[in-house]
Chains A and B, each alone.
Chain A
């Protein structure tokens, strides 16, 4: 087995060396470097598209999905080798996709064979970009109180209502959406449906954030017709699908605590403050705060590795993604607080070339959403307290 893995590692290394363009082996510099794919995506370079096409054709955007659904059919151990070899070469992820990180796992578990065959391969190849229709103006942390309704009209549902905080809804091709199919049952009256964002009656409006960006949208549904074959799982049982998917979303968001790519906080501080004769940053209090933060960040990287290993081996408590999401996002906020403190007035420049368009400041502000989106830190702590620690309900 380990001999086979060694062979696989050597072959993978060779393939990546030969197929990953040099431009795709550098760290991300800004949001524009992230590849989202989809019908309308504008690739930032030919290399970005080439890298996606090559990885998609091999199924390595989703290495452990079955080949029949566009995946690579790799074992857990092989997928880990692929991740390690990509990290070794510094390869960028070829595709950033809610289809991969959220909808895919839910369809694999709850979707019909026809739904898997229709939707998973285009996700793997980066052809269809998905967004998530969960939150509503009065259903955030109390998600199950959502009101967007879907009426049974024989061969289709008629959907009316409003979603909010739909990430990149204005650039998405399809949406996976929670709708109310039974108003009398809070958790048992929700269904999980899929539809094309070009369906008549769908409209979106970006929400400008404190970072100056609009990753989120308000999304409105006005007599939207959704074919019944697009219902995932059973009618009125969408809450199970939703919870399962949220676990994967939390896993994805927790990855933010890992940092990665960007310049180290210590290096930023050295550049901004200079060093004392002994080589230490000439800002002893900040230096200590950074050092203790880096201890936590390194420990969390180990936790993430352990979590992934246990996930693959099916040894994870189902509420564990909540813990990962909580720790990862809180760390990410601390990282950028320190980055701002280390960068000083340079980091405050909002539009200058020196600050790469205020990249650090905007990222700092963006991280404030990390502990709100995908379920607030407080909700995650509730889940850990009740489901892992078994503390009594209030």
Chain B
């Protein structure tokens, strides 16, 4: 398969791009932020996502979705990144849908049609500390009655306080640091002992710390098999990492477009500052970094869709490279805008904040580079 979009994928882009520009431009984020919105996204916009078919794009057609893949999800996510659109799409339509594919017929029947129709929002409760270290999962899952009792805390759970469904990684065996002994649970909103505390992040989004105080769930809340949730978790993480990479590409592309536009219009010493060679070289370098990250991300998504064994490594490369390229894009963006780039009125700073959140989400460049090095034996 050639490493560029098919005609069908290009058509999806042709509908996603204007949709996001018209319905959820940066002003939409500003509006939510300035109104001190407590939800974290606009439910009306989420319903429009469903009407566009976005919510269930990864759900099989038999279960009410479009049966599309990682490449298509990436197209939508890049446009969200470009417009800084707040949305539970990544956690719900990419993360939870992928996790539930490994679930029972009942779980799929209960949740996938509701996700596809935009009725249900989901969150991924994976991290427990300030950094993404999924193997270190310590939240306990002890057998109780015909089910389990969950005790512990999760952090950085995006949309955790409003989610109808939590995908929870818990430890039913083994020790923190081990991949064995992790079990995934589908936990419904409102379970007794579940306490979510939303915190506003630098980019104005909301992520929760969630306390599990002896939350009891039935055995049928287990996704897949007890103790062997790592494979499903890994597959889910591959999908959301490459999805986050696409969103980072969008953030980078949006920041770069603003910056290039500014270089062409802003005059100093009587000429456009974009005519200065030192700025031209930095802009061209940024363009190159972004193109490289874009190729790496598309490669990872194609490999995921082909269920190729090289996909996992390609995902690590994509998430790390997209994080690095977007970091350069937002830093150069603010610097090249000069003083105006530091003002809250101007949008470039919002791109910098969103990059920081997405870079941390599901592992930063250092995390993924370290994993690649371990896999390569050094």
Contact = CB atoms under 8 A, between A and B. Distances in A.
Contacts, number: 148
Given A290-B378, A326-B285, A327-B292, 19 more contacts: A266-B373, A267-B377, A270-B377, A275-B378, A279-B377, A290-B373, A295-B321, A298-B313, A299-B293, A302-B314, A307-B295, A309-B4, A310-B4, A323-B288, A326-B288, A381-B284, A391-B263, A392-B264, A394-B276
Nearest to B303: A302
B27 to A, nearest CB: 26
Contacts of B264: 390-392
B237 interface: no
A291 B370 contact: yes
15 contacts: A267-B378, A292-B324, A292-B366, A295-B372, A296-B321, A298-B313, A303-B295, A310-B4, A313-B2, A323-B284, A323-B287, A323-B288, A385-B280, A385-B284, A386-B280
A292 B320 CA distance: 8
B296 A391 contact: no
A217 interface: no
Interface in A270-299: 270, 275, 279-281, 287-288, 290-292, 294-296, 298-299
Contacts of B370: 288, 291
A30 interface: no
Contact of B378 (A280, A323, A382, A385): A280
A326 B299 CA distance: 21
A300 B366 CA distance: 18
A298 B296 contact: yes
Nearest to A391: B274
Given A279-B374, A306-B3, A315-B4, A299 B292 contact: yes
B372 A389 contact: no
B204 to A, nearest CB: 30
Interface of B: 2-4, 260, 263-264, 271-272, 274-277, 279-281, 283-285, 287-288, 291-293, 295-296, 298-299, 313-314, 316-318, 320-321, 324, 365-366, 368-370, 372-374, 376-378
Nearest to A305: B3
Contacts of A378: 281
Contacts of A103: none
Contacts of B296: 298-299, 302-303
A388 interface: yes
Contacts of A313: 2, 4
Contacts of A295: 316-317, 320-321, 324, 365, 368-369, 372
Interface residues of A, number: 47
Contacts of A267: 377-378
A298 to B, nearest CB: 4
- Most central of B2, B271, B276 by chain A CB within 10 Å: B2
Contacts of A389: 260, 280, 283-284, 287
A264 interface: yes
A62 interface: no
Given A270-B378, A327-B288, A391-B280, A302 B317 contact: yes
A299 B378 contact: no
A393 interface: yes
A298 B317 contact: yes
A382 B284 CA distance: 8
A269 B378 CA distance: 8
Question: Which 3 A-B pairs have CB atoms at the shortest separation, nearest pair first?
Answer: A266-B378, A385-B280, A299-B296
Contact of A392 (B275, B287, B372, B376): B275
Contact of A391 (B4, B260, B378): B260
Contacts of A287: 373, 378
A287 B377 CA distance: 11
Contacts of B280: 381-382, 385-386, 389, 391
A287 B280 CA distance: 33
A138 B195 CA distance: 74
A108 interface: no
Contacts of B288: 323, 326-327, 384
A72 to B, nearest CB: 20
A310 to B, nearest CB: 6
Contact of B291 (A296, A303, A392, A393): A303
A371 B370 CA distance: 29
- Most central of B276, B281, B292 by chain A CB within 10 Å: B292
Contacts of A326: 284-285, 288
A386 B260 CA distance: 11
A118 B375 CA distance: 52
A183 B247 CA distance: 54
B4 A306 contact: yes
B295 A299 contact: yes
A388 B365 contact: no
Contact of B275 (A310, A323, A380, A394): A394
- Most central of A296, A299, A310, A391 by chain B CB within 10 Å: A299
Nearest to B1: A309
Interface in A359-394: 378, 380-382, 384-386, 388-394
- Most central of B291, B366, B370 by chain A CB within 10 Å: B291
A296 B378 CA distance: 17
Nearest to B377: A266
Given A291-B370, A294-B376, A295-B320, A306 B284 contact: no
A280 B370 CA distance: 10
A302 B295 contact: yes
Interface in A311-328: 312-313, 315, 323, 326-327
Nearest to A324: B288
- Most central of A279, A287, A288, A296 by chain B CB within 10 Å: A296
B233 to A, nearest CB: 23
A279 B374 CA distance: 8
A386 B271 CA distance: 16
A384 B287 contact: yes
Nearest to B293: A299
A393 B3 contact: no
B365 A292 contact: yes
Contacts of B3: 302, 305-306, 309-310
A292 to B, nearest CB: 5
